[in-house]
Each structure stands twice: as C-alpha cells, then as structure tokens.
C-alpha cells in the first residue's frame, strides 16, 4: 500500500498541474504532462532494480569483512556436517545494522519488511564472490600456527615473537609497534572459539602490560566469547585480519614482564 501511495501522489499532482496548464497552453502542455507521467512510471518500474543495486553497493563496501565472517562463522562439526548457524545470524545482523539504515535514508523504507530475505541473499552472494586466501596455508598444529601468526604480524610492521609455551601466562605472541604492545592468544580450531580464550588473552595482557589484547583464530567465536570480548576490550580476529592491524592503546594494567 505504501508503494502504491508513493506512485499515486506524483501521478495525481502531475495530472492536475498538467491538466490545468493544458487549459491555458493547449497541446504542448498535454505533451509535457504525458512525458512526465511516462517518466514517473518508468522510475517506479525501475525501483526494485534500484533497491537491489543499493543493497549490493552497501554489501560490496564490506565485502571482504563479510567473506571473512562467513569463513569464521562456518565450520565442520564432529559428524562431518557443515554448520553455518553463526554466519546465518551474521548476515541478518549486517542487514539490520548496516543495510537497513541506508536504504531507509534513501527512501526505500517501504521495501524493508517484505524484502528482508532478498537483502540477506544479496549479502550472501557478495560474500561468496570474494576470493580469500586459501585457509589450508595456516598450519594445523598449535606451535606452527603461532609462528604463522607472528610472521603475519611481522609482515605488517610489528616486532613479533612467539613465546613458545611455558611461562607465557596465556600469551602466545607478544608484539610491539609504535610503542604499543600487543598480546595475542592463538587458536587453530575446527569450531568457534569460546570465552576461555578471551579470559586468557585479557589475563595475559595484564601480565605483560599489554596495550592491546587479541584472540586470533582460523575459526569463529561463540556469542559468549563476543560478549566477553566487548566487555574486556579484547580483539577477536581472523589471522587474515593481522595484515591490517594497527596499534591502538586499549588495555592497561599489571607490571611489565620481562
């Protein structure tokens, strides 16, 4: 009904104004009115396509992040089933928090409710189109994965070293850049990482007097882990995120170790 109202109003007033003008100007006014009506109808017919283009444009601005989240929030369970529950929730979250505000600001609020699934499908297609680095390049063993992540940080300009296990107090990697210390907990998992890793990273940051704390994984994170990370300031990252990680002072506390 709202869509019909949006079309009826401009058609009505175009005809009223055009008809009035035709009484004074005759045929030229009628021709101009006819052209205006055709343009209004064409724009209305093109509205669904413009809506889809807008949603796709918003999604493409975040394409790489969406693709990473799709990878992080999908995993194979112990029975060999592909579990995508986290990614399905992520798609809807992205539409609700990122897409809807923009399409409403552009005058498509009447489309939002009826076309929610269509928006989700567009987000899915945009994420699937991104060519991410092969996940198999990350080592399967814990020590190898820690060294792999340390190398990625080093390539991004951090002075990073893997702590090597014993005595690390939960820190698998300690890195520094621009006088900012980053403490990292690494998890090479086949399922989402829980909040225990977030607790370990936060504790390690205090022990090492870290300015930043992060949990890095090839997998995703449980809702509990995300909630705790938001409360503690711990970053939740995929190892592909390390290439773009910049120093920011976030976490304080504890006597500097070493």
List pLDDT tens digits, range 164-188: 765 567 899 999 999 999 999 999 8
pLDDT of residue 256: 44
Say how far apart CA 182 and CA 212 lie, in whole Å: 5
Q: Which of 66-80, 164-178, 216-230 has the highest mean pLDDT?
A: 216-230
Q: Does pTM surpass 0.85? A: no
* Alpha-carbon distances of 103 from 90, 94, 145, 256, 258, rounded to whole Å: 19, 13, 41, 49, 52
pLDDT of residue 255: 40
Across residues 4-29, what is the average pLDDT? 57
Beta carbons of 96 and 120 less than 8 angstroms apart: no
Kindly list the domain boundaries of the chain, sorted by start residue: 2-128, 137-244
Cβ-based neighbours of 244, under 8 Å, separated by 6 or more: 156
Say how far apart CA 219 and CA 224 lie, in whole Å: 15
Does pLDDT of 202 surpass 90? yes
Does pLDDT of 136 surpass 70? no
Long-range CB pairs of 145-154, under 8 A, 24+ apart, other chains included: 145/186, 145/188, 145/218, 146/172, 146/173, 146/186, 148/239, 149/173, 149/184, 149/186, 149/216, 149/239, 149/242, 150/175, 152/239, 152/242, 152/243, 153/182, 153/184, 153/242, 153/245
At 20, which helix (H) or strand (E)?
A: helix 2-25
CATH number of 137-244: 3.40.1350.10
Across residues 191-212, what is the average pLDDT? 92
| Coil vs helix vs strand at 208 | coil
DSSP code of residue 210: -
Q: Which of 7-11, 35-39, 42-46, 136-140 has the highest mean pLDDT?
A: 136-140
Q: What are phi and psi of 236, to 5 degrees?
A: -110, 115
Please write the tens of the pLDDT for every residue from 159-170: 999 987 655 678
Q: Determine what percent of the chain is predicted with pLDDT higher than 90.
A: 43
More confident residue, 69 or 228: 228
pLDDT of residue 206: 92
Does pLDDT of 144 surpass 80? yes
More confident residue, 30 or 194: 194
């Amino acid at each position: 009904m709202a869509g019909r109202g949006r079309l009826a109003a401009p058609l009505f007033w175009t005809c009223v104004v055009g008809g009035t003008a035709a009484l004074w100007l005759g045929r030229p006014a009628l021709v101009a009115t006819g052209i205006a009506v055709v343009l209004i109808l064409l724009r209305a017919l093109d509205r669904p396509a413009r809506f889809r283009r807008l949603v796709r444009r918003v999604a493409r601005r975040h394409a790489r992040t969406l693709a990473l989240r799709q990878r992080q929030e999908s995993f194979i369970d112990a029975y060999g089933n592909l579990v995508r529950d986290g990614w399905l929730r992520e798609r809807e979250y992205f539409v609700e928090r990122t897409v809807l505000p923009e399409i409403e600001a552009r005058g498509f609020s009447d489309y939002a409710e009826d076309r929610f699934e269509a928006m989700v499908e567009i987000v899915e297609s945009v994420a699937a189109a991104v060519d991410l680095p092969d996940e198999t390049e990350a080592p399967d063993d814990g020590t190898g994965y820690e060294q792999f992540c340390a190398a990625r940080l080093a390539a991004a300009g951090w002075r990073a070293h893997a702590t090597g296990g014993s005595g690390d107090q939960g820190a698998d990697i300690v890195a520094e850049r621009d006088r900012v210390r980053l403490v990292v907990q690494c998890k090479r998992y086949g399922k989402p990482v829980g909040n225990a890793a977030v607790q370990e990273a936060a504790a390690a940051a205090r022990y090492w007097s870290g300015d930043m704390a992060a949990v890095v994984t090839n997998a995703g994170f449980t809702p509990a882990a995300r909630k705790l990370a938001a409360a503690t300031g711990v970053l939740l990252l995929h190892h592909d995120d390390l290439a773009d990680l910049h120093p920011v002072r976030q976490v304080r506390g504890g006597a500097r170790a070493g």
